[in-house]
Structure 1
């Protein structure tokens, strides 16, 4: 069974039963913490085949500490968005590209904020991590701005039609107020996934339950995965 560990914000460890994927890790506190605290330590990676993904350079999605993990993992592969400083041996990926890293096939979509979103196929599992690609509709912004953001998001998500996605990690941001559901709703109706995990919550974990209770989410509410704290294990 696929499982994930919520690390912080948009950061997750996905355990495929073989290789481990880590997305957008940034919060390495508390010092001396372990995976149960949402912190990657040596015991989490020892002897494992690890794939580390950075969707973009924003401070809440990237921490250079990830490059210290080479000393812990059995094998480690870094897949970095084109805006992240290059690391020797890493795979750099741009929107529209499909690259291979180890046994993983990685496809990048173009974010409408910064960097990329990832579609990853590895060990018989297909995972989508949206990074900061979202239907960003901000109350108070101009209609032209919001329409452009929405159009970009829809065009990128439509590129995934036909993919059989096991788990999708999609932003559900409380700052969008009543428009918080637009991105995840469009994704689930147009593409879908066996499980969808809200992220980018800014610690507003009640938003998971709000999403599950939202009438708009009724067709897929049983596939929404909720969580309440860092280090929580999610059965997928």
Structure 2
């Protein structure tokens, strides 16, 4: 059903989306993310400036499970049907909050970009369903986003990095090495044979995470200088 609805939307290929957008006014895109356990939305202009953003994290909900008598902590990981329900509960609020922070109405958007893959099917369906409903009332193109490609391209929002460049992507469900040759032109060089590091960390018992808590790893990734990496920025 979702595939059928996608075919009816004003579709833009991710690599050529500029040609789908009107040049009569500054281009502004609403991005919607629901591939896993975070519901996110952001309004970004054509210069890469984030005008407004909002995020709802499901971390605590997935860690704690209520069995009717007491609450206990799981060993980790995402519960797909819980993630789907929480996305549905929060996605409208998150999108509205991002729009309000940007100071723009939905009618001012030049396009809507939504994650279509890879990710949890139940989670992805919420973002796509919401996008479909939104586009029914807007004469706005739709940009399908491969979220691992998007991860690779975010560096260009903060650094003037020309193509081609080598990128190592390590996330909750993926670990891969690729050559980025263009906005939608990637050469996959290698990937994890079984589980990604983030997926493995999810399954470590909370009492054992103190040795390498995910938050500490994220902080290191943000603060680590590219000069300290072999070969510079990946």
Is the structural similarity TM-score above 0.5?
Answer: no
- Structure of greater Rg: 2
Normalised by the length of structure 2, the TM-score is 0.30
Larger relative CO (CA 8 A, sep 6+): 1 or 2? 2
